[in-house]
Amino acid sequence: MKEELSLKEKDMLVMKLLHYFITEEGYNPIILHGVQNEIWLENMEGPYRIVRIMTGYIHNKNQYDFDIFKTKKIMQKIKFKTFTLKMNALSIFVDLGECVDIENFGNINCVNVNNEADIDKSNVILDFFPNIKNKLNFSEKGVELFTKITNDINEKNKQDARQAEEVLSIKKPIVTYALIAINIIMFLMTYVFNAGNYLQTLLNFGALSTTHVVEYNQYYRLLTSAFLHIGVMHIFFNMYALNILGTQLESFYGHIKFLIIYLFCAIVSSLVSILFLDANTISVGASGAVFGLLGAMLYFGYHYRSHLGNVLTRQLIPIIMLNLVIGFMFVGINNAAHIGGLISGLIISNAIGIKYKTTNFEKINGMIVAALSVIFLIYMIFFR
């Protein structure tokens, strides 16, 4: 009878810990196939990226060492899957044998919590979660406590699901279609009003030229050049990419934020181009802005990687790398604009943020970086 009561108390301790980390600290469960007797939780903004609760019995040092080895292997897989360079973890053992001494291993901090009193003795936990002890106190007991904890966790999971559904649901991409229409109209106009010299026609319509921007102060070319194209294949591939990326990103970020991303990346990619363009070379095309959308998708995919699966590592990153390699291999491709667009997409996405994911502190940092980036480019172009 005593053993049965002990097991129930340990199960309740695990439920309380889950309740705290999920409802109070914003951790989310990680689904790992083939893993038994352990619960993995993740919070990218948490003091520990991973909180792991080991419920299985560890009775000797060999088992303990193997458990740490297994934990490291799983963390490596999570790092690769989530495109994460650095990851720390808190591993909580709730059923550790008396002959096993707790040891920390690099980025894995371990703690033994056989009961709630052990939490008061653990600086590893209290230093980063000082309110945990108070949050584990409940007025309910027994079945009522179990019911409350279960309901609270379920409600938190439902709230997260509602938020994810709101962000990920497909909405009508009005801005994307408008941008495609403008690009097509401008492309047709350059042919309709072609005076015989097509390059001169592009210049007349606002193509990017270092001489015209720097010496003649025609700053509008930083943006207008992103709506001009040379040839059917050029505009076809850019508009095809814009349609695919835009219809998704406009849903994820919203109409206004998506437009800000596109225009910001178009301008920044033009600024970067001027740094590397020959004074007699002109540049046109939406590819800088499209690469900016790839950067924005990369930022979004990182924050919603649990919902997007392996899209980040198996699809998006390879596409970006392939396009950059192609840009270096073939003459006539403005890879400076591509790289500038990609980086600016990441920066501006951080500045405008993702609903329910990006904190105000992160947004402010992103705005500062975006402003400094533009100031630096302007200085290098006009005042160096």
Give CA–CA dist 234/231, Å, rounded. 5
Give the pair of three-digit tokens for residue 130: 């000082």
Q: Residue 309: what pLDDT?
A: 61
pLDDT score of 4 more than 70: no
Find the mean pLDDT for residues 115-123. Answer: 89
Contact between 290 and 338 (Cβ < 8 Å): no
Find where tokens 């505009």 sit: 235
Find where tokens 């991409």 sit: 173
Give CA–CA dist 157/22, Å, rounded. 9
Find the mean pLDDT for residues 149-169. Answer: 90
Is residue 4 exposed (0-12), middle (13-18) or buried (19+ Cβ within 10 Å)?
A: exposed
Find the mean pLDDT for residues 279-292. Answer: 93
Question: Phi and psi for 91 in degrees, rounded to 5?
Answer: -105, 115
Residues tagged active-site: 287, 338
* DSSP track, 110-170: EEE-SSTHHHHT-HHHHTT-TTHHHHT--S--HHHHHHHHHHHHHHHHHHHHHHHHHHHS-
Q: Where does the chain hold its CATH 1.20.1540.10 domain(s)?
A: 170-383
Q: Residue 7: what pLDDT?
A: 44
Q: Residue 178: what pLDDT?
A: 98
Higher pLDDT, 345 or 85: 345
pTM: 0.83
Specify the CATH number for 170-383; select among 2.170.8.10, 3.30.460.10, 1.20.1540.10, 3.60.21.10. 1.20.1540.10
Give CA–CA dist 15/149, Å, rounded. 7
